[in-house]
Amino acid sequence: MRKSVIFFSIAVVIILAFQVAAAQPQQPATEERPGSVTNQPVKNYSLPPEKYEKAISYSRAQYRLHFIGTAYSFLILLFILSRRIAPAFRDWAEGVSRRRFIQALVFVPLLLLTFDIFKLPLDIYQHKLSRQYEMSVQSWGSWFWDWSKGELIEFFIASILAYVLYGVIRRSPRRWWLYFGVASLPILVFLLFISPILIDPLFNKFEPLQNTQALLVAEIEKVVNHAGLDIPPDRIFEMKASEKVNAVDAYVTGFGASKRVVVWDTTIAKMSPSQTLFVVGHEMGHYVLGHTSKGIAFAGALVILLLLLVHFAVNRTLSRKDRQWAIRSLIDWASLPALMLFFYLFLFLAEPAYNSFSRYQEHQADVYGLEVIHGIVPDSSSTAADAFQTLGEVDLADPAPDRFIKVWLYSHPPLGERLAFAREYDPWSKGQPAMFVK
C-alpha cells in the first residue's frame, strides 16, 4: 500500500470528523415531553430544550473525538515508524535477553507506553468532557489510577499476544494471519472468562444484588421463572457505579461458569423497579440468546479477514520501507507498529459492519426484555418506553443522530427507535406468537 493511500485514509477520517462537527442538529418535530417530566405516558423520545441542547452538544463532541482520535492514533504510529523508535526498543530488548518471551516483555510495554503517552492528552480530554457534562464524578486521582492499572493489564496481555503472533509469523510467513486469528479465539474466550473474576473488580466494586436489593431479586426471580431459565441469584450482581459515574447501565459479562448479569447501582436508584426489571430482562436476553458466543464467532471471523488485509498491506509496505524504518523483516519486533497501523486502519473501516451486527443483537435483546416481563409488570410496553426515556435523559443520548453516525458508530439502535419499537410491540393483542418467550 502506497504512502499516499495511508495519508488519504487519515485525511478522510479527519474530514469526516469535521463534517460531524459542522452538522446542525434538527429538533424533532414532536414537542411532547417525556413521562419523567410530565408524568404522562412516553410516546416519543424527546428532551426539554436545555437538556436537548446539552445532549446534542455532548453527542457531537463524542463523535468528533472518535474520528479525530482515530486519525491521531494513525499519526502517532507513523511518527513512531518514521523516527525509528521501535527499532531502538527492539535493540534494548535483544540486549536484555536472547529469549523471545523476555524480549516481548521488554519491547511490547515500551512500545505501548510510548503510544499511550502520546494518546494521553485525548484520554484526559475524554474524562474532562465526561466531568463537564456530569457523566462522570470520578476524581482525577482515581481516574489516573484506573488508567495506570489498565496500562499494566494491557502490557501483560499484549506481550503474550505479541509473543504468540511473532511465533506464528516465524513458522508460517504466508498464512500467519489465519493461524494467529484462529489461535487468538481461545485466548479471547479465556480473557472473557477471567475478566469478571480478576479484572473487573480492579476497577469497580461488585456485590451480589440479593445482599442489597432482596425485594428486587425476588421480582427478578419471577422474570427468570417466566422465561423457564436457571439464573441463580448469585449470578446477578450490583456494581457500585455511582462512585465514578452518573450514567445508568447494565450488562452481561463472562463466559461459562463466570457468566453473570451486572446492574449498576445508578440504574436501581434512577429507574423504577419495573423499569429495572425490563433492563435486567434485556440483559437476560443476551444471556439466553447466546450473544456472547455468537459475538465471539463474528469477531473472530472479522479479525481473520482484517489480518489477511494487514498481511497484504504490510508486506507491500515493508518491501519499500524496510530501510527507511529500520525494520529487518516482518518477523522483526520493530514491525509491530506497522502491523498496528494497518490493523487499526482496517478495523476503523470495519466499524459499520461490527456495529450493525451489534445493533441486531441489541434489538433482539429488547424484544426478549419486552416479552419476558409481559404479564409480570402492568404494561410491558410502557415500562420499556419509560426505561428508554430515563436512559436517554440520564445518559444524554442524542435525540436525532443522522444515518451516517448511526451506521458507523452506534452499537445499539438509537434511543428514539428503541422507544418507538417498545411502544408498538404487542403481539399478544394481535393474536401473534411471541418471538422468544412462549
Question: Which pLDDT belongs to residue 35?
Answer: 39
Q: What's residue 401's pLDDT?
A: 95
pTM of the entire predicted model = 0.89
pLDDT at 42: 65
List of residues 6+ apart from 81 with CB closer than 8 A: 321, 325, 337, 338, 341
Q: Which residues pair with 236 in a beta bridge?
A: 261
398: left (phi over 0), alpha (psi -120 to 50) or beta: beta
Cell numbers placing 129:
468532557
- Give the pLDDT score at 125: 97
**pLDDT tens-digit readout, 243-255:** 999 999 888 888 7
Share the mean pLDDT of the chain.
Answer: 90
According to DSSP, residue 374 is labeled B
Per-residue pLDDT at 165: 97
All residue ranges of the chain with pLDDT < 70 are: 1-42
Which pLDDT does position 40 carry in this prediction?
55
Residue-wise pLDDT tens digits, 85-120: 999 999 999 999 999 999 999 999 999 999 999 999
326: left (phi over 0), alpha (psi -120 to 50) or beta: left
**Kind of pairing, strands 206-208 and 250-253?**
unpaired
Residue 13's pLDDT is 47
Quote the pLDDT of residue 230: 76
